[in-house]
Structure 1
Amino acid sequence: MALDDASVGTVPWTIKGELILNCNCTVFCPCVVSLGKHAPTEGYCQAWSGVRIDEGQYGDTDLSGLNVGLMLEIPGLMARGNWKAAAYIDERASEAAYEGLVNIFSGKARGTTGLFGVLVSEFLGAERAPVIFETEGKARRLMVGKKIQGEVVPVEGHKGEDIVVTNTEYWMGPDITVATATKGRVRAFGRVWDFDGRSAEICQIDWKGPR
């Protein structure tokens, strides 16, 4: 059953899982430590992201096992807003789960992703799609048909251990694994992006709302 607009920002929700992101920054994204106060390395941000939901609820609706793909375009400083965003929702989602995920990723559901409602000036849309999130060894892959095809791997640090930026106030989560894209291709909404070799992030997420 569809929720009326007035109730959307009052529904309790949770998402636990993993997020991967690849952007056009040539070195690790400065937004993580500057919290959006430092410009992206190219002066603007173009990015794709994937979310694997291991456990999740939107009200009484189970979101566990679903995947979401995102496309983001930010003209300058992240904190100044004017973002454009689009979402691809797992085609396996029930109608209630689809609505819940659209509300979460558009910011309408408030909580952790509520900042999208403030920063995104143009939500390009949401659509159902085959969203595949795979892990093989340390590599993570996101495939949304021919629209997003990406793979990210952690950057090795001392003794081969992953480099992790810990204890941040970054909105996605406090611990961000520094990664790079072995493939980063977007062909969607008139965008043609290739970010192979560019900055990437891996983050364990524990999000909730509406507060």
Structure 2
Amino acid sequence: MAADRLDTPAKIDNRMPGAPKSGHGTVPWAIKGELILNCNCTVFCPCVVSLGQHPPTEGYCQAWSGVRIDEGHYGDTDLSGLNVGLMLEIPGLMARGNWKAAAYIDERASDDAYTALVDIFSGKARGTTGLFSILVSEFLGAERAPVVFETEGKTRRLMVGKKIQGEVVPVSGHNGEDIVVTNTEYWMGPDITVATATKGRVRAFGRVWDFDGRSAEICQIDWKGPR
């Protein structure tokens, strides 16, 4: 359905008839939950500690990510309990931009929540994710999908139909405790758990990626906007 997919360069407000205007950077919003990410780096992603100034291990970045929203709102719209899947493609240094991105919005989201989440994850809502509006040169689109984020013990799984099938586990350190990079200025959050992907498959927007055994991250997020 046309209302279930947003294709660039169509304007977000015009894709869902009857939906309220997004506010574009004026609506207070907040999200708390967890993010997982798996990329094509062969060892732990250098972007975390270099803040995007060091190139990915393969010279370019291809990644999928999942966000579980435990608590969240966009103005008066409740976002709690929803999930989001992301696909990212970065041609070189993260800080230099020219990213391509796509978003999969939980099919359980109301029309208002769908519009809010597209605004947040495209950077239009400003705040923590506002950097997307600067770094992403091509927003491939957003669409509703069955986005499932599961936790079993220390294992996290993201399933977006047949388009993204991912599973990540923390890397164990001393005494079996997870290795965590702490007190960073990384935009996602200050503490990043080092992980690896036991499954990392993307079949979307003409991309066919398999990142089993590659770098992964787990991060508790506390994002907000518009400032």
Q: Distance in 1 between the 2:187 and 2:94 partners? A: 12
Secondary structure of the 1:113 match is: helix
Which digits, 9 at most, give the CA deviation of each residue in 1:61-110, with x for residues without a partner? 00000000000000000000000000000000000000000000000000
Q: Percent identity?
A: 93
Secondary structure of the 2:188 match is: coil
Q: Distance in 1 between the 2:184 and 2:133 partners? A: 22
Unaligned runs of 5+ in 2: 1-24
TM-score (norm: length of structure 2) = 0.89
TM-score (norm: length of structure 1) = 0.96
> Shift of the alpha carbon at 1:115?
0.1
Q: Distance in 2 between the 1:59 and 1:77 partners? A: 34
> Shift of the alpha carbon at 1:171?
0.2
Which digits, 9 at most, give the CA deviation of each residue in 1:137-176, with x for residues without a partner? 0000000000000000000000000000000000000000
Runs of 4+ in 1 over 6 A off after TM superposition: none
Q: Distance in 1 between the 2:82 and 2:62 partners? A: 24
Match of 1:3 in 2: none
Which digits, 9 at most, give the CA deviation of each residue in 1:96-132, with x for residues without a partner? 0000000000000000000000000000000000000
> Shift of the alpha carbon at 1:188?
0.1
Q: Distance in 1 between the 2:177 and 2:90 partners? A: 32
Which digits, 9 at most, give the CA deviation of each residue in 1:42-65, with x for residues without a partner? 000000000000000000000000
Unaligned runs of 5+ in 1: 1-8
